[in-house]
Structure 1
Amino acid sequence: MPDPLAEIVTLLQPSAPFTKRASASGPWRVRRTDLAQALYVLTIAGRANLELDNRPPILLQTGDFALVPAAQAFTMSSVDPPPPPGLLNLPLRLDDGTYRLGPPDAPPQVQQLLGHCVFASPDAALLVPLLPDVVVVRGADRLGVLAGLVADEALAERPARDIVLQRLLEVLLIEALRARAETQASPGLLRGLHDPRLSSVLRQIHAAPARGWTVAELARAAGLSRSAFFTRFQREVGLPPMDYLMNWRMTLAKDLLRHGRLGIAEIATRVGYGSASAFSTAFSRRVGCPPAQYAAQHGGSVSADAQATLLG
């Protein structure tokens, strides 16, 4: 049976445009407000505070790994000693390619590996909200190894570098997301998969997206009444079950249109529509353009039978 988490991470098409090793001493604080990317931080030694807007500070200690799938802004600061109000530092790039905060000749009190991750998928806006807002894993030995491999590959110029980086990042993200976080995840796929009643339902949806699912049928699969299932699914996953199913069908359809050479009718069947016209109508309403036009705009192609639906 397909693994929903693995499918979503793979479809996100992660890449690593920037990774760095940083050390710090004394009081320090850095802030980024223009990131709009996934952020991951591995604390190799020492302690630091990670602050995300509208959240209390998160203390990161030696061996801790933090992942923020959609970081718009963040602040990182010293703990021992705390920075004075208003202090902001600019990292200094050293000759060895690492970055330094505080006096460059002082013994480092904190060492971290930081990386930014971008998602190449055009469907990232649909998929990222299914992930937790932030994940913190304590004593993340396996994640430390993976993060080190990502950094090593990102800083090197080896053949097939981009492909290796994408695969390493997929494993890194899956490992971080499936690890037990210290706090309850925000509503999304991860919380749904940890709910014993909803996990099997989500896996069944991903295993058979073309099936004519109803709320009543999904509720029976979860062993709940229809109203209890609807309320629980929306609370844990963050959207109603039929909206989740529709989003997943459209995500699969767009992926097939971008990368496949299938006709509209075959794609319609694969994502649960009885006819090409019904699929085209639903796709246009959801995406804003007909399927064949979407394929042409995103470098895909469809077989000859689809061309007549380009404008309808």
Structure 2
Amino acid sequence: MIDPFAEVVMLLQPEAPFSKVVSGAGAWRVSREESGQTFYCAILEGSCLIQADGHEPITLQENDFILIPSAHHFAMSSLEPPPEGMDATPVALPDGEFRLGATSAPADVRYLVGYCVFGASDAALLVSLLPRLLLARGGQRLVTLVQLVADECRARRPARDVILTRLLEVLLVEALRAGSGGIALPGLLRGLADERLSVSIRWMHEMPARSWSVDQLAKEAALSRSAFFERFNRIMGMTPMEYLLTWRMALAKNLLRRSECGLAEIAERVGYSSVNTFSVAFTRHVGLPPRRYARQNPDLSQT
């Protein structure tokens, strides 16, 4: 059966082109207002606090990896209470690191921080399938990757930036894969970790063209209709039909970009009985008719 997680990661085309090492000492706080960028942070040593979009502060410790797929506001601070209402200004150190707080004191925390980008033109649609915040911790594979990233950050080897970018991409995927074992808000990862819901999710990915109903999906999950609907909505953060529609639109956009088949075949492959009904649904959710979307978003890798 198709692996839904692998499909989402493949369509997202994650990259990590920007990162920097930051250390903190004493009492400090830094906050950011971002336009929905994908923020990540890997704790190399020590510990600090992070608070994102109104959630309770989370203590980050060595080898933790936190990912916020669509960050709008977040703040990081020392465990020691920082001055009220005062943000620290990062100071560039001679070794390329940035320091928050006391510049002459030994560091209490050192972390790698940066932003990911997704190559998919429909990234916002796919990101909506991920949890709003993910904290992965404790897994040996993840710890090993963070340690490799830390070692590459400290060294000044040839092609350092190239290696670091590739390591961060692998770290991102591993964190997404391991996320259900840490702190993850409603989304695809939690749904796939649920033994009942994962069956219905996999069937939606295996057969997106099928005329699924909530009753049929509930039967696949061996749950009553009401229990399935409530459980899906709570764990996934959207209703079953909303998820199915989101996934169908993601598939349709990918097929339109690749220009490998006609509109009638695309409509059939994503569960619509006619080009007209598909075009209406696509236009409503994407904001462009299918043909115009294909013209404006060609897959350059296919040329």
Measured against the shorter chain, the TM-score band is 0.7 to 0.9
Q: CA deviation at 1:34?
A: 2.6
Q: CA deviation at 1:200?
A: 0.7
| CA–CA distance in structure 2, aligned partners of residues 141 and 67 of structure 1 | 18
Aligned to 1:222: 221
Preserved CA contact (<8 Å) 2:259 2:294? no
User: What RMSD in Å do the two structures reach over aligned CA positions?
Assistant: 2.8
Aligned to 1:52: 52
Q: CA deviation at 1:215?
A: 1.9
| CA–CA distance in structure 2, aligned partners of residues 272 and 149 of structure 1 | 44
| CA–CA distance in structure 1, aligned partners of residues 44 and 128 of structure 2 | 29
Worse-matched range after superposition: 140-149 or 1-10: 140-149
TM-score by length of 2: 0.86
Aligned to 1:304: none
The aligned length equals 296
Give aligned-pair identity as a percent.
52
Preserved CA contact (<8 Å) 1:5 1:174? no
Aligned to 2:137: 138
1:25 to 2:19 alignment: no
The secondary structure found in structure 2 opposite 1:33 is: strand
1:264 to 2:263 alignment: yes
Q: CA deviation at 1:205?
A: 0.8
1:11 to 2:11 alignment: yes
1:36-58 deviation line (CA, Å, top 9, x unaligned): 21121121211211111311111
Mapping of 1:103-252 within 5 angstroms?
Answer: 103-147=102-146, 152=152, 161=162, 165=165, 168-169=167-168, 171-179=170-178, 180-183=180-183, 185-252=184-251
1:37 to 2:28 alignment: no
| CA–CA distance in structure 2, aligned partners of residues 4 and 275 of structure 1 | 26
- With over 3 angstroms needed to count, the CA separation of the structure-2 counterparts of 1:244 and 1:293, relative to structure 1, is same
Q: CA deviation at 1:61?
A: 1.6
- With over 3 angstroms needed to count, the CA separation of the structure-2 counterparts of 1:201 and 1:176, relative to structure 1, is same
Q: CA deviation at 1:206?
A: 0.6
The secondary structure found in structure 1 opposite 2:196 is: helix
1:70 to 2:70 alignment: yes
Aligned to 1:98: 97
The secondary structure found in structure 2 opposite 1:89 is: coil
Q: CA deviation at 1:293?
A: 1.3
Q: CA deviation at 1:249?
A: 0.9
Worse-matched range after superposition: 6-15 or 67-76: 6-15
| CA–CA distance in structure 1, aligned partners of residues 252 and 268 of structure 2 | 10
1:242-280 deviation line (CA, Å, top 9, x unaligned): 221111111101011112332112212221223333322
Q: CA deviation at 1:296?
A: 0.4
Preserved CA contact (<8 Å) 2:121 2:297? no
- With over 3 angstroms needed to count, the CA separation of the structure-2 counterparts of 1:258 and 1:157, relative to structure 1, is farther
TM-score by length of 1: 0.84
Task: Give the gaps of 5 or more residues in structure 2.
Answer: none
The secondary structure found in structure 1 opposite 2:10 is: helix
